[in-house]
Chain A
Amino acid sequence: MNQAVSKIKISSIFLTLLISAPAVIIFLYLFIGHSDNWQHLKDTLLFEYIFNSLYIMFGVAILTSIIGFTTAYLTSLYTFTFSRFFHYALILPFAFPAYIVAFIYGGMFDITGTVTTFILNLINKDLSEVVFFDIMSIEGAILVMSLVLYPYVYLICKTYLSFESASIIDAAKTFNLSSWQILKKVILPISRPAIVAGVTLAVMEAVADFGVMDYFGVNTFVTGIFKTWFGMGSVDDAAKLASILMTFVFLIIILERLQRRNKVFKSSGKDFKPIDKVKLTGFKSFLAFISCFIPVFFGFILPFIQLCYWFFISYEDIIDEDFMTILYQTLSLAIISAFIITALGLLFVYNVRKNKDKTSSILTQIAKLGYSIPGAVVAVGILSFFTILDKNIIEIFTSNYVISGTIIAIIFGYCVRFLAITINNFEAGFSRIPQTYDDAAKTLDVGEKRTFITIFMPLLKNSAFASFIVIFIEVIKELPLTMILRPFNYDTLAILSLELTQQSQIVESSVPSMFILIIGMISVVLLAKNMNKAH
Chain B
Amino acid sequence: MIKKLALSAVLLASSLFASTEVNVYSHRHYDTDKKLFKMFEEKTGIKVNVVKAEASALIERIENEGKNSPADVLITVDAGRLYQAKEKGILQAIESKYLLDNIPEKLRDKDNQWFALTKRARVTVYKIGSGMHKELSTYEDLANPKFKGQIMVRSSNNIYNQSLMAAMIAHHGEEYAVNWAKGVVANMANAPKGNDRYQVKAIANGIGSIAIANTYYIGQMVDNKDLSQAESVKKVKVFFPKFEKGGTHINVSGAGVAKYAPNKENAIKFIEFLASNEAQKLFAQANFEYPVLKGVESSDIVKSWGTFEDDTISINTLGENNKAAVKAFDLAGWK
- A: which residues have CB within 8 A of B? 37, 40, 44-45, 106-107, 110-114, 117, 126-128, 136-137, 214-217, 219, 223, 226-227, 229-235, 313-314, 332, 335-336, 376, 379-380, 383-384, 386-387, 390-391, 395, 400-402, 404-408, 483-484, 486-490, 495, 499, 502-508
Of all chain B residues, the one with the shortest Cβ separation from A490 is B51
| In the complex, per-residue mask of B204-224: 1 if CB is within 8 Å of any chain A CB, else 0 | 111100000000010011001
B172 is an interface residue with CB less than 8 A from chain A = no
Is the Cβ of A489 less than 8 Å from the Cβ of B49? Answer: yes
Which segment of B195-203, B270-278, B307-315 sits at the interface? Answer: B195-203
Q: Does B228 contact A (CB under 8 A)?
A: yes
Interface residues, chain B, with chain A CB atoms under 8 Å away = 1-2, 5-6, 8-10, 12-14, 16-17, 23, 29-31, 49-57, 60-61, 64-66, 68-70, 84, 87, 155-157, 159, 162, 190-195, 197-198, 201-202, 204-207, 217, 220-221, 224-226, 228-229, 232, 262, 322-323, 325-327, 330-331, 335
Known pairs A215-B194, A332-B1, A402-B70; A503 contacts B157 (CB<8 A): no
Number of A-B contacts (CB under 8 A): 182
* B107 nearest CB across to chain A (Å): 22
Whether the pair A223, B65 counts as a contact (CB closer than 8 A) is: no
Separation of A59 and B331 alpha carbons in the complex (Å): 28
Query: Which residues of B lie under 8 Å from residue A230 when comparing CB positions?
Result: 54-56, 159
**Complex CA–CA separation, A229 to B63 (angstroms):** 14
* With A336-B2, A407-B5, A489-B49: A112-B61 Cβ-Cβ less than 8 Å: no
What is the minimal beta-carbon distance from A466 to any residue of chain B, in angstroms?
A: 22
Is there an interface contact between B5 and A336, defined as CB atoms closer than 8 Å? yes
**Min CB distance, B295 to chain A, in Å?**
27
Q: Which residue of B lies closest to A385 (CB)?
A: B64
Choose from A111, A215, A223, A405 the contact partner of B205 (Cβ within 8 Å).
A111
- List A contacts of B50 (CB < 8 A): 488-489
Name 29 interchain pairs, CB-CB below 8 A, sorted by A.
A106-B198, A107-B226, A111-B190, A112-B228, A112-B232, A117-B205, A127-B207, A137-B193, A217-B191, A226-B157, A230-B54, A230-B55, A231-B157, A231-B322, A231-B325, A232-B322, A232-B326, A313-B225, A380-B60, A400-B68, A401-B68, A402-B70, A405-B51, A407-B8, A408-B6, A488-B50, A504-B197, A504-B217, A504-B224
Asked if B1 and A233 sit within 8 Å, CB to CB, the answer is no
Q: Is the CB of B49 within 8 A of A128?
A: no
A383-B60, A402-B69, A504-B217 are contacts. A231–B162 as well, Cβ < 8 Å? Answer: yes
Taking a contact as CB atoms under 8 Å apart, the answer to whether A217 and B204 are in contact is: no
B239 to chain A, nearest CB (A): 21
Contacting pair B51 A231 (CB below 8 A): no
Chain B residue numbers with a CB within 8 Å of A404 are 61, 64-65
A387 to B221, alpha carbons, bound, how many Å? 42
B53 & A223 in contact (Cβ 8 Å cutoff): no
State A382–B330 Cα separation when bound (angstroms): 30
B9 touches A487 (CB 8 A): yes
Q: Are A112 and B330 in contact (CB under 8 A)?
A: no
Q: Is the CB of A110 within 8 A of B198?
A: yes
Residues in chain B near residue A232, CB distance under 8 A: 322-323, 326-327
- With contact pairs A231-B159, A407-B5 given, residues A45 and B330 touching in the complex (Cβ less than 8 Å): yes
CB A271 to nearest CB in B, in angstroms, measures 42
Judge whether A217 and B193 touch: CB under 8 Å. yes
Chain A residues near B53 (CB-CB < 8 A): 483-484, 486
Closest to A487 in B: B12
Known pairs A219-B335, A384-B64, A406-B13; A136 contacts B323 (CB<8 A)? no
Instruction: Tell me if A216 and B193 are in contact (CB < 8 A).
Output: yes
When the two chains form their complex, are residues A40 and B330 in contact, meaning their CB atoms are under 8 A apart? yes
Instruction: Point out the residues of chain B lying under 8 angstroms from A223, CB to CB.
Output: 157
**Least distance between A317 CB and chain B CB atoms (Å):** 9
Residues of A within 8 A of B335 (CB): 217, 219
A231 touches B326 (CB 8 A): yes
Give every chain A residue within 8 A of B206 (Cβ-Cβ). 126-128
Could you tell me the distance in whole angstroms from the C-beta of B68 to the nearest C-beta in chain A? 5
User: In the docked arrangement, what's the CA distance between A214 and B51, Å?
Assistant: 23
A335 vs B194: C-alpha distance when bound (angstroms): 34
Given A114-B228, A335-B1, A408-B9, CB of A383 within 8 Å of CB of B64: yes
Kindly list chain B residues whose C-beta atoms are within 8 Å of the C-beta of A386: 64
- A408 CB contacts on chain B under 8 angstroms: 6, 9
**CA A37 – CA B324 in complex, angstroms?**
10
Closest 7 CB pairs of A and B: A217-B193, A488-B49, A507-B225, A44-B330, A231-B326, A112-B201, A387-B64
Tell me the bound Cα distance from A234 to B224 in angstroms. Answer: 37
- Known contacts A112-B205, A387-B65; A503/B327 CB under 8 A: no
